[in-house]
Structures are given as structure tokens and as C-alpha cells.
Chain A
């Protein structure tokens, strides 16, 4: 929280050779209240080449600036505003940074030049798509306006009808445009993809921002793409947005194979855990210890724990770098406890997998697990890191324990849609590369399975006795 206590300080204004003493006070982001000292008077509109003052022992010289008068405010005679370079006084006084408002333009030549290597056919494709999307958006917006005054329930019915008719046709149009787009970019290098993706997003930004789904993946409010809100949007797979067009732009990526794969993987984990439960129940009365790595909101636990008896069988440890996701998971589980009238044994670990390995004897601290799973973590880990993490997880597995690790396959049909439109880049692997992550662990029994869309793999691991 920034402390915005009034800041008063002694300063002087430079006008020609003259040095005029003032008392200044922070007034707003771009202005200072001032009072001339020693009986000095200045005309409204007077220009000064510099405002000079000392901050933390350092002399700050900023300007040129202009004096504007206003009715006396607590003894101050007027304000100083900047007439050329505009300085952000919030940055200066509260963040210790000297920032010019116009600094945003420093990168302009670089950004403008970034379009120079865009392929002609990609430019044409983007321009045509921009035109088409404008036409569609206008049409849907006009329809929205025509039933805007209807009662809420009627509005909803009308919108549903539009979505089911012209809306679904628009979704087919988007599918066709994506096919056309994939044909254009098929031979692009990594660098080409990056540059053309940037260009596409810049050109289509207005449309991207209509979709809550695309807005979130692009803006990444929590610093990464696949956060718990995103997961909820994918699981819900609803029409969300402020307009019919926005709802369609939201639903389209939610229906794409990668999003379906995310829904499928939740089912896969639920089935695996249910199987562990039914198998282990026959052989042991001990609680089944489960670790979920990069757990997010852990919605799948609600699918697994459907009775009080289920709850008595499991002990969950949920690990995530995102404290908000963990608190969402905690609140879901509290609700589930109320619903089922029983306690759920769960521990929360707010750790990053990249730094958790420093913890000596992790298995001693966290215990050993019968089942470890991670659905959406390894898509972000490069090979050296993925190897270190998976080996460590394997160490914390009990003999006979199982592990299921998800990773999108290199052939993910949504890959370029995600990269170009959603600014969502994953680290893809082949089956061989995935299995290879555990090549230094000879006692591991591994196999790879795919969910129904074929986009997402699961590396299934069983720990055998050496």
C-alpha cells in the first residue's frame, strides 16, 4: 500500500538567471501546489525552465514547467504543471522513480518496425479477418441493441436463439478461418511464430478483449496463463461475456480440443483416484496419501469425495505457488465438508516447484505418498527442470505407489490458436521425451496414455522395489 501522506518540501524555480524560492506540496499525479517565499509574485502562465529540489539527498531537476493560479488552497497560491516532459509525481514521490509520461513512446520505432518482417499473405489474412470480424461484431451488436429493452428473461431467450442460429454459424466461420491460418503458418520457425503472433494480437486486440477467456489468457492478471479462474472458465464451458459477440468469442476457445482435454484430464484423475480408493480399500485400512502438485483450485477432489466414507479414506496434500488458488481450494473443500458432514484431511503447501527442491529431505517433511498427480505443471517446465522435479516427486512415492503427470502433446490441435490468439505458450513433448524424463530412475514402470482428444498425455508411473 502506497503511503500518500501530504509531502511538503522546499524547492526553487529557475527563470532565466533567477532562482525563486518556493514551498511545494504534492497535489496530484501531475501537479504540485506551490507558495512563493520572500514575497515573490508571479503572473499566471509564467514559465520556469526547471523545478529544483532535493530528495533523499539527491538533487532533482525537472522541467520546464508553468505556474497556474487557482483560488487559494490552504495558503498555496497556485500549481506547477509541466509544459514539455510530463513527470509522474506518484512515481517520483511514492516509488522513487523519475518517470516521464511520454516514456511510453520511447519504444515506438521498435514496435512499429516489428511488423516489417510480416509475410504478405499473413498480412492479407489478418486484414481480411479484421474486416470480417468487424462485420460480424456490428451485426451481433445491432441485434443486441434491438432487444436491449426487453425484460431480462426475454432478452436471455432471444440471445439464446441468436446464439443457436447465427452464433453457431459464426463459430463455424472461426473454425474455417483457423484452418486457413494453420495452412499459412505451417512452415514458420519459432521466431516467425512469435513475430506473427504479436502482429495478429495487435491487429485483432479489440475482438480479443471482447472475450473474457481471451482477455484473461492475454492479460494474465496473476502472472501466468492457466490460473484457477481460467480453469473454472474451461470447466464451466459456458457462454460468458457482455455481448452476444463477446459470448461467442469466449465460447469458441472453450470448445477447442485443448480445453476439452483439460476437462477430460479432470475425469481421468478422478477415475484414477477412485480406482486407487477401491483397490486400496481391499488391501489396507490406512489412509491413502495423495499429493497434487500445482493443484490450482483442485476441483477434481469434489468429484472423488462423494461420500463421508470417501473422505475417511484419503489424506490430501495440495501444493501450489499461487496462494489465491490454494485459498480457493480450501474454501471449496470447506463447502464440501459441510455438504458431506465430515472432515477432509488436507494440507496446503504454498511452494514453487522450482525452489521446493532445496528443502532437505522433502519426503521426511511432507511424508511419503501413495499417489501423486500433476495435471498442468509440466507444460511449463523445460527438460532440465522437469527431470529434477519428476525425480524428486518419484522419491516421495511409496513403493507400489503411483504417479500421473500430464503434459500436452506436440500435436495439440489447438496449439497455434492458443499461441497466436490467447498468447498461451506451453512446453510440448512427444511420448518419447515424456518417458525420457524418468530415464535415470530404473525402478520406475512407465507408460503414456492419451485422453480422448489426443492433445494431452499422462505419464503413468509405478514405483517398484529396487
Chain B
């Protein structure tokens, strides 16, 4: 059985559901529990959504790439998409947000803080940033990212596989 799978995602919102289903099949083949698959599917959808939102798809053929790797005790999901200079402000925010979320031992605290912020109802549209917090809290995963030299943004999550995360355990 293959431990890794890679999806090329066209810049089209309808693609999210397709990748979500196909990745769920892959995760199921690794005998992961329904809860684990559900969490990872949420993570994959959130990350692709961000990729589509902030990616640079002006050039023909630019796409989002999703790589899932299942190791003995860990799952890594990497979502890559090209970015241009207009995304730099977003990247700086992403850097701060990820460090802020990971600054809490319990991502529940970040979740509570973010909900509190969201409840303040901005008078004009603003990013809620709740998606990343959900990944950490509901998905129980560690977020990180880097931008490679070719301006490819790589957002990854690492999730430990523990007792109960596999059907057979």
C-alpha cells in the first residue's frame, strides 16, 4: 500500500469536494478511524480553500498540489500553491497567526480567543481566521508553513496518530 498520495487541484472551488472524497478513500485504505478521517478531511478542505483564495493562478497551469503522507505514528498533509507579491501581506499575517496558535499548549485557548474576536462583528468584511484555529483545535494538528524560492507556498499540518486513531487499534 502506498503511504503517500498527491493531488493536482485546478483553481476551481468545485475541486475541493472531489479531493476531499478521494483523500478520504485514501485515508480509509490506511484503516484510519472515521473521526480521524473527518478531521483530516476538514483540514484538507480548509487548506485548499486558503490555497485557492490566496494563490496566484494568473498563469496557465498554476494549480494547488495536495500531498498526504501516512507514517506509522504521524500524518502529514502539505498543500502547495503559487503566490505572487500581492500575497506577502497575507503571508506575514499567516506567520503571526500560526505562531500565535502554536503558542498555546491547548489550541482550545486559541479557538476561544478567535471566537471572541469574531463575536466583535466588524462593520466591514474581515478575515475571521477561524479556519486555521479549527485545524489546530478540531483537527488536533500542528500547522506550519514556508514559501519556497519559486514562490510556492507550502502550508503543512502534522498530526500524531495515537491510540484510537486507527480502526484496528
Q: Which residues of chain B from 67 to 93 have any CB-CB distance to chain A below 8 Å in the complex?
A: 76, 78, 88, 91-92
Say yes or no: B144 contacts A224, CB within 8 Å: no
Minimum CB distance partner of A106 in chain B? B119
Say yes or no: A384 contacts B140, CB within 8 Å: no
Inter-chain contacts of B119 with A (CB < 8 A): 99-100, 103, 106
**Residue B130 interfacial (CB < 8 Å):** no
The total of Cβ contacts below 8 Å across the A-B interface reads 127
The CA-CA distance from A100 to B78 in the complex, in Å, is 39
Distance of B37 from chain A, by nearest CB (Å): 17
Inter-chain contacts of B115 with A (CB < 8 A): 106-107
Minimum CB distance partner of B159 in chain A? A190
Say yes or no: A360 contacts B123, CB within 8 Å: no
Interface size on B (CB < 8 Å)?
Answer: 41
Distance of A357 from chain B, by nearest CB (Å): 6
Inter-chain contacts of B123 with A (CB < 8 A): 55-56, 58, 60, 92, 96-98
Minimum CB distance partner of B160 in chain A? A190
The CA-CA distance from A359 to B100 in the complex, in Å, is 24
The CA-CA distance from A220 to B154 in the complex, in Å, is 26
Interface size on A (CB < 8 Å)?
Answer: 55
The CA-CA distance from A385 to B99 in the complex, in Å, is 13
Say yes or no: A360 contacts B149, CB within 8 Å: yes
Distance of A395 from chain B, by nearest CB (Å): 10
**Residue B162 interfacial (CB < 8 Å):** yes
Stretch at the interface among B14-22, B42-50, B103-111: B103-111
Minimum CB distance partner of A424 in chain B? B105
The CA-CA distance from A193 to B148 in the complex, in Å, is 34
13 A-B residue pairings within 8 Å (CB atoms)? A96-B123, A97-B121, A107-B112, A107-B115, A189-B162, A194-B105, A197-B105, A354-B144, A355-B92, A382-B156, A385-B154, A425-B102, A425-B104
Q: Which residues of A contact B (CB under 8 A)?
A: 55-56, 58, 60, 91-92, 96-100, 103-104, 106-107, 110-111, 114, 189-191, 193-195, 197-198, 220, 223-225, 321, 352-355, 357-360, 362, 380-385, 388-389, 392, 419-420, 423-425, 427
